[in-house]
Amino acid sequence: MADVARDKRALPTAPRAATSRRTWLRRALVAALSLALVAALVVFFVRRALGPWVEVVAPARADLVQTIVASGRVASPGEINVGSMLSGVIHALHVREGDRVTAGQLLVEFDDEDLAAQVAQARAGVLVASSRVSQLRAVGARVAVENVRQAETQFRATLATLARQRALATAGVVTVAELETSQRALDVARSQLDSAQVTAAGTASGGGDARVAVAGRVQAEAALRVAETRLAQARIVAPATGVIARRNVEAGDVVLAGRTLLVLLRDGVTELSVTPDERILADVRLGQRAVASADAFASRPFDGVVSYVAPTVDALRGVVEVRVRVDHPPAFLLPAMTVSVEIELGRRAAALSLDAALVRDAATADPWVLVLEGGRAARRAVRLGVRGERRVEVVSGLRESDRVLAVSAPVAAGGRARVRATPVH
């Protein structure tokens, strides 16, 4: 019974011990939380005072090449629309699309029977006119001279007769009527002499008749040249060496004057026409090197040189035409072929450079970087030069000893920061 009594008296002490343990655990937890809070506050204030950990990058020397890549096409040196000045029927065509032709090569023939007949008629006209001139010179002039001589003889004889009649009339032997008859005969002889002299002057070299005859011959010769020219126009020849790009007619077609029969791509300096963004205008210049490749022969690149930059910009697309001259074009290069051209805008050896991702507002006129100075981030304006594929040249604003913060660094200009590791390049 005594043992039972003692057990009953010991029962209240167990709850008190459990309560003590819980209190102790609670106090320990509060203390731990307090310490963690204090540590967090210490870390917060220390980080705030010293700044976050950041990685920095130092500028480095490197060889840089700035290029642009643009697509375009092979530009023909000249596209000639070959037409005819005649209307008629196509008799024969001697070329097809893709044929290479040389200057003067026969391309198209028209039906020329009527034109050939016109040439024959014009030649006959020249023969008639020439014969007229020859006749005047060989026969007409001599006859006219002889007529003048006869008229002069007749005039002198009539004049002598009149003089005798006047002497006889004074002596009363000749009547007045006979004297008047002799005077009229003299007037007729004088008129015949004047007419013969005028005719002789006309038929002589340089005279009116001779000039008319010569003018007729010149006119006939001009008509012959016109007829021969029209006959020659019935044969269309290549105006230059090149490639036939298009044929618009077939044999037997009736065509009108001025219609384009063939399109000829003239040979000459081979150029590639590309249209990069207008923002490259500040960097592209004549004489810059380029490497091009045709889409159909991508593994066979060839060299070129910038030969033309358009003076105007396409306002709708915001591009500018640039032409690249190819001095030694490959045999596979054809007009209008699609090409890809890489133009070298600039090159620098051992240039002070930086990763392009570290430059802020690089596309504007005022690029800048964040550098670490005395434990604080400082904004530094820089001037950029050649821009490579991943790195850019820093012309001014940075030294090799400077340390540049990444764009993703959790610090703004003026804020404190600490270097996490050894600067990398």
Give the CATH number of the domain where residue 389 resides: 2.40.420.20
Q: Is residue 16 part of a domain?
A: yes
C-alpha–C-alpha distance, residues 174 and 186, integer Å: 17
Q: pLDDT confidence of 181, banded at 50, 70, 90?
A: confident
SS3 content of the chain, % helix, strand, coil (to 5): 40, 30, 30
C-alpha–C-alpha distance, residues 175 and 182, integer Å: 11
Q: Do 147 and 194 have their domain in common?
A: yes
Q: Do 102 and 24 have their domain in common?
A: no
Q: Do 119 and 223 have their domain in common?
A: yes
* Tokens encoding 370: 């964040």
8 Å CB contact between 93 and 107: yes
Does pLDDT of 385 surpass 80?
yes
Q: Which of 231, 250, 274 is the last residue of a domain?
A: 231
Q: Which of 207, 231, 255 is the last residue of a domain?
A: 231
Q: Is residue 140 part of a domain?
A: yes
Q: Is residue 169 part of a domain?
A: yes
Please compute the mean of the pLDDT values over residues 240-265 and round it to a whole number: 90
Q: Do 120 and 226 have their domain in common?
A: yes
SS3 220: helix
- Would you state the pLDDT for residue 156? 75
Residue span of the structural domain in which 17 resides: 2-50
- Would you state the pLDDT for residue 401? 87
State the average pLDDT for the chain: 81
Name the more confident of 190 and 325: 325
User: What are the beta bridge partners of residue 379?
Assistant: 370
Q: Is residue 310 part of a domain?
A: no
CA 328 from chain center: how many Å?
19
- Would you state the pLDDT for residue 304? 95
Q: Is residue 196 part of a domain?
A: yes
Does pLDDT of 169 surpass 50?
yes
Q: Do 118 and 225 have their domain in common?
A: yes
Please, what's the b/e burial string for 267-298 (b: 16 or more CB within 10 A of its CB; e: otherwise)?
Answer: beebbbbbbbeeebeeeeeeebebbbbbeeee
What CATH code is carried by the domain that includes residue 251?
2.40.50.100
Q: Which tens digits make up the pLDDT trace of 42-51?
A: 555 555 556 7
- Would you state the pLDDT for residue 42? 57
Backbone angles phi, psi at 361, to 5 degrees: 55, 40
Q: Do 226 and 207 have their domain in common?
A: yes
Q: Is residue 148 part of a domain?
A: yes
Q: pLDDT confidence of 81, banded at 50, 70, 90?
A: very high
Name the more confident of 386 and 215: 386
Q: Is residue 393 part of a domain?
A: yes
Does pLDDT of 60 surpass 60?
yes
Angle (deg, nearest 10), helices 113-135 and 208-232:
160
Name the more confident of 71 and 186: 71
Q: Which tens digits make up the pLDDT trace of 196-229?
A: 666 655 555 545 556 676 777 788 888 888 989 8
CA 414 from chain center: how many Å?
54
Q: Which of 231, 250, 285 is the last residue of a domain?
A: 231
Number of domains in the chain: 4
Q: pLDDT confidence of 4, banded at 50, 70, 90?
A: very low
C-alpha–C-alpha distance, residues 315 and 336, integer Å: 24
Q: Do 88 and 59 have their domain in common?
A: no
Q: What proportion of the chain, given as a percentage, has pLDDT over 90?
A: 30
Q: Do 240 and 105 have their domain in common?
A: yes
- Would you state the pLDDT for residue 421? 55
C-alpha–C-alpha distance, residues 346 and 357, integer Å: 20
8 Å CB contact between 264 and 242: yes
Q: Do 103 and 241 have their domain in common?
A: yes
CA 268 from chain center: how many Å?
13
Torsion over CA of 359, 361, 367 and 368, rounded to 10 degrees?
Answer: -60
Please, what's the b/e burial string for 115-131 (b: 16 or more CB within 10 A of its CB; e: otherwise)?
Answer: beebbeebeebbeebbe
> What are the Cα distances from residue 35, in Å, to 32, 49, 50, 247?
5, 21, 22, 94
Q: Do 143 and 224 have their domain in common?
A: yes
Q: Is the pTM of this model over 0.75?
A: no
Q: What is the largest CA-CA distance in the chain?
A: 230
Q: Do 11 and 29 have their domain in common?
A: yes
Kindly report which listed range (161-175, 259-273, 299-313) carries the lowest average pLDDT score: 161-175
Does pLDDT of 191 surpass 50?
yes
Alpha helices in 172-207 (DSSP H): 176-203
Sequence-distant (6+) residues with CB within 8 A of 239 are 80, 82, 103, 264
Torsion over CA of 32, 34, 35 and 41, rounded to 10 degrees?
Answer: 150
Q: Do 127 and 212 have their domain in common?
A: yes
Q: Is residue 13 part of a domain?
A: yes
